[in-house]
Amino acid sequence: MMQVKNESAEELIIHKVRSNDLAQVHDAVAVEEPLEISLAWQSEGKNNVKVISVTMRTPGHDPELATGFLFTEGIIKEKAVIKSAVAHSFAENKITVVLNDGYAPALQQTERNFYTTSSCGVCGKASIDAIKTVSAFKDNTDEILVDANVFYSLGEKLRAQQTTFNSTGGLHASALFDLRGNFISLREDVGRHNALDKIIGAALIEDKLPLSNSILLLSGRASFELVQKAMMAGIKIIAAIGAPSTLAVKAAEECGITLIGFLRSESFNIYSNKKRISVTKENTLA
């Protein structure tokens, strides 16, 4: 096994079968490893450290993932509470987010098992009520209006930026574009919720929240937990290459988010809050 420079992928020697011929070839495979996220804070003169979650992720941007996860889960409210995000030099795949003195985490906001898989960011929640975290930006008003033509090229722009996906075919992506369709940033991960936590964590660290003037593009389907995380970051428009779930549509409607699915080069479906999309012709059902 040979390590590729990109820590998101490893190059393996595999056996490829084609037309009943067998050959040894090199193949790039997306890396999946666990990350233990811990939180450290002081209360009443006592140092506290608590493991919050273990998630399967693609290595890279771990501080963004950890801070983004804590923010979108409602455990921390703003950048000001964070003192540092420290990777353990003596132990791989562990990171501790340290809070500034005087801040205590809102651990009552989340009731989840410590283990989540790369395919589900909500697995382990005790109840549907536990995942209805409240965003500070939920009620922000806007007058956003985006021409439908802006969306048609987003998929192609996304694929051009997905360097690791292009070599492995095994990663989800979350990308941000401005309201004119200009690319801003992208994060990839084996877990779709991790990719979104990374991009929101980066915005939190860089003091760029809320992301109300950005379009969030998802490389796959739109699920409830992705809509919920986007809502926490103040995102108003979500476009997905794949399909939305019914719960994602319901959440988008309740949170005032414009949700687009099945985005293609010449078409897309609007599932909620159509008011932000400008379309030249409009036909209604008879």
b/e per residue 3-17 (b: at least 16 CB within 10 A): ebebebbbbeeeeee
Using DSSP's 3-state secondary structure scheme, residue 133 falls into: coil
**Cα gap 199→243, rounded to integer Å:** 21
What is the Cβ-side half-sphere exposure of residue 147, based on CA atoms within 13 angstroms?
6
Residue 157 burial (CB count, 10 A): 15
Amino acid at 143: E
Distance CA 52, CA 115 (A): 9
Q: How far apart are CA 159 and CA 170, in angstroms?
A: 13
Tally of CB atoms within 10 A around 262: 16
Contact 145, 199 (CB under 8 A): no
Task: Output the CA–CA distances (angstroms, integers) from residue 279 to 220, 251, 253, 274, in the order listed.
Answer: 24, 24, 20, 10
Choosing from 29, 107, 120, 243, the catalytic residue is: 120
* Catalytic residue check, 120: yes
Catalytic residues: 120
